[in-house]
C-alpha cells in the first residue's frame, strides 16, 4: 500500500541548492553543487558547444531515430581514446571498447551491474570519503561495500600508508574504485609515484581497478595529465573499467553524456562483454540519448574544434586555481588561525576545507554561504567579488 511508504531523506547536495535558492540575501553563495561557474557566478555554455549545437540544428540530415544500444560509435570511440590516450596499445590491439551511458552515473551503474551479475564480483572498496552516489550505486546491487583510508585530517592530505594497508588486506577479486583525478570530495590525488605503488598492490592482490574518471581535462586543464593514472594502469597490462562523464569537461550536465571504457587482455572477449552490456543497458535505459554524444563526437573528432575545447577546459581549470590562490591569500592576510596551504595544493573544483559541520552551519546562518556539511567547498562558487565575504566568514567561523 502506498500509505506505508516511508519518507526518504533528501539528497543532501540538492537540498542545499534549494536552501540557497530560498535565501534572498545578496550575499548568498552556493559552494555546494558540483557545477562550474564563471567569474560572474553564472553557468557557462562552452562556446564550442554552442557552435556545434547550431550546426546540428541546421543539419536536416539528422533525425531522432534510436541509437544502437551501445551508443553512437563515433562518440564511444572518441571518448575511449580521450581516457586511454591516442596511442593506446589496448585500442590498437582491439582490446578496448566504449559503451555509451547516461553520463558518469550511468557508466558506474552499468559497470556495477556487469561486475555483480556477470562476473561474480561481490566486494567493492571505496575511498573514505568518496562521492556519496558510489555508496548508492553499489548498495543497490548488494555489494559488500568496504572503505579504504584516503583522507588524513591531521595533514589535510592523502592517507597513503592507510590506503596501501587497507588495499593489501583486500580479498582477491575485490573491485577497487579509484578516482582518476580531482578526487571528490577532497581534491586530493595521489602523486605519480604513489599511483605506481597503488598499482603494485592492486596487481599483487589480484584486485580489479575501476576508475571513476568524471573530471578528465577539467581537473587541471590538461587531458594528458588528468588521464595519467588510467593510462599508466593500462600500460602496466591491467584490465580496467573507466567511467567517464562529460558533465563537467563539456558543461553538458543535463544532457547525460557518458561512456564506460572497457580494457581487456583479450580481443576475443570484447564482443562477449559488449553483448552482456547490451542486455543490461536494454533493461536499464534501452538506448542512450544522442544530442550530447553528437556534440562531444563532433568536437573530439575535429582537430580545430578539439583545440578550442582544450582552451575552454584550461579557462575553467585556471579560474579555479586562481580562486584557490585568492582565497588562500585572503586567509593568510587576515591571519586566520590554522594552515590553509591545502586550499592551493588540492586540485579540481572541490576542496575539503577541514571546517567542521558546526562551522559550516555558522557560515550558512551568519554569512549566507552554502557548503556541504563535510566542509567540502565548490571553489567555482568563489569570485573576485565575493572572496572577501567568504574569507571573512571562514575567519569568524574558526575564531568564534
Ligand atoms: N563521479 C564523481 C566522482 C562525480 O563527482 C560525479 C559528479 O558529480 C559523477 C561521477 C557523475 O556525474 P554525472 O552523472 O553528472 O556524469
pLDDT of 14 over the 90 cut = no
User: What is the reported pLDDT for 160?
Assistant: 98
How many Cβ atoms are within 10 Å of 44's Cβ, its own excluded?
18
Q: For residue 34, what pLDDT band results from cuts at 50, 70 and 90? A: confident
- C-alpha span between 320 and 333 (Å, rounded): 20
Please identify which of the residues 116, 212, 226, 330 carries the catalytic annotation: 212
User: Ligand 1 test: best mutation among 12, 32, 105, 352, most atoms within 8 Å of CB?
Assistant: 105
Mean pLDDT of the chain: 96
User: What is the reported pLDDT for 7?
Assistant: 94
* Residue 330 bears catalytic tag: no
Pairing of strands 175-179, 157-158: unpaired
Q: Which three cell numbers stand for residue 212?
A: 571513476
Model confidence pLDDT, tens digit, residues 203-260 = 999 999 999 999 999 999 999 999 999 999 999 999 999 999 999 999 999 999 999 9
Ligand 1 atom, smallest distance to 212 CA: 1
Model confidence pLDDT, tens digit, residues 73-128 = 999 999 999 999 989 999 999 999 999 999 999 999 999 999 999 998 999 999 99
How far, in Å, are 140, 218, 326, 328, 387 from residue 341 at the CA level? 38, 21, 12, 7, 17
The set of protein residues with a Cβ atom below 6 angstroms from ligand 1 is: 34, 103-105, 131, 179, 184, 212, 214, 245, 247, 258
Model confidence pLDDT, tens digit, residues 281-328 = 999 999 999 999 999 999 999 999 999 999 999 999 999 999 999 999
Determine if the pTM surpasses 0.90.
yes
- C-alpha span between 17 and 29 (Å, rounded): 10
User: Ligand 1 test: best mutation among 16, 35, 104, most atoms within 8 Å of CB?
Assistant: 104
Q: For residue 337, what pLDDT band results from cuts at 50, 70 and 90? A: very high
pLDDT of 11 over the 90 cut = no
Please identify which of the residues 116, 231, 248, 364 carries the catalytic annotation: 248
Which one, of 83, 76, 79, 80, lies nearest residue 100 by Cα? 76
User: What is the reported pLDDT for 216?
Assistant: 98
Ligand 1 centre distance from Cα of residue 105 (Å): 6
Q: For residue 54, what pLDDT band results from cuts at 50, 70 and 90? A: very high
Nearest CA to ligand 1 atom 16: 104
| Residue percentage of the chain with pLDDT more than 90 | 95
* Residue 212 bears catalytic tag: yes
Q: For residue 13, what pLDDT band results from cuts at 50, 70 and 90? A: confident
Contact between residue 227 and residue 196 where contact means Cβ atoms under 8 Å apart: no
Amino acid at each position: 500500500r502506498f500509505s506505508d511508504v516511508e519518507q526518504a531523506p533528501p539528497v543532501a547536495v540538492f537540498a542545499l541548492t534549494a536552501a540557497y535558492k530560498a535565501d534572498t540575501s545578496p550575499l548568498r553563495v552556493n559552494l555546494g553543487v558540483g557545477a562550474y561557474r564563471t567569474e560572474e557566478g553564472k553557468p557557462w555554455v562552452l562556446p564550442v558547444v554552442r557552435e556545434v549545437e547550431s550546426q546540428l540544428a541546421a543539419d536536416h540530415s539528422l533525425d531522432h531515430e534510436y541509437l544502437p544500444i551501445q551508443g553512437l560509435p563515433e562518440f564511444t570511440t572518441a571518448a575511449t581514446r580521450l581516457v586511454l590516450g591516442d596511442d593506446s596499445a589496448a585500442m590498437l590491439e582491439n582490446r578496448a571498447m566504449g559503451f555509451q551511458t547516461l553520463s558518469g552515473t550511468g557508466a558506474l551503474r552499468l559497470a556495477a551491474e556487469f561486475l555483480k551479475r556477470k562476473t561474480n564480483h561481490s566486494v567493492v572498496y571505496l575511498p573514505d570519503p568518496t562521492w556519496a552516489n558510489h555508496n548508492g550505486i553499489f548498495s543497490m546491487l548488494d555489494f559488500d561495500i568496504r572503505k579504504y583510508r584516503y583522507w588524513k585530517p591531521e595533514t589535510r592530505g592523502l592517507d597513503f600508508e592507510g590506503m596501501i594497508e587497507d588495499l593489501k588486506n583486500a580479498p582477491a577479486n575485490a573491485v577497487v574504485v579509484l578516482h582518476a583525478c580531482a578526487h571528490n570530495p577532497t581534491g586530493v590525488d595521489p602523486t605519480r609515484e604513489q599511483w605506481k605503488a597503488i598499482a603494485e598492490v592492486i596487481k599483487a592482490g589480484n584486485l580489479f581497478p575501476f576508475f571513476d574518471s568524471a573530471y578528465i581535462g577539467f581537473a587541471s586543464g590538461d587531458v594528458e595529465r588528468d588521464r595519467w593514472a588510467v593510462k599508466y594502469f593500462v600500460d602496466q597490462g591491467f584490465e580496467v573499467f573507466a567511467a567517464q562523464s562529460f558533465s563537467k569537461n563539456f558543461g553538458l550536465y543535463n544532457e547525460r553524456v557518458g561512456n564506460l571504457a572497457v580494457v581487456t587482455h583479450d580481443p576475443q572477449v570484447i564482443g562477449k562483454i559488449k553483448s552482456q552490456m547490451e542486455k543490461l543497458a536494454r533493461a536499464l535505459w534501452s538506448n542512450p540519448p544522442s544530442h550530447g554524444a553528437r556534440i562531444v563526437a563532433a568536437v573530439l573528432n575535429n582537430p580545430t574544434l578539439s583545440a578550442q575545447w582544450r582552451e575552454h577546459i584550461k579557462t575553467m581549470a585556471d579560474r579555479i586555481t586562481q580562486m584557490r590562490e585568492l582565497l588562500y591569500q585572503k586567509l593568510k592576510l587576515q591571519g586566520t588561525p590554522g594552515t590553509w596551504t591545502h586550499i592551493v595544493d588540492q586540485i579540481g573544483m572541490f576542496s575539503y576545507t577541514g571546517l567542521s559541520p558546526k562551522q559550516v552551519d555558522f557560515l550558512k546562518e551568519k554569512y549566507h554561504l552554502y557548503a556541504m556539511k563535510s566542509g567540502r567547498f565548490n571553489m567555482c562558487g568563489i569570485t573576485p567579488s565575493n572572496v572577501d565575504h567568504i574569507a571573512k566568514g571562514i575567519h569568524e567561523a574558526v575564531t568564534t
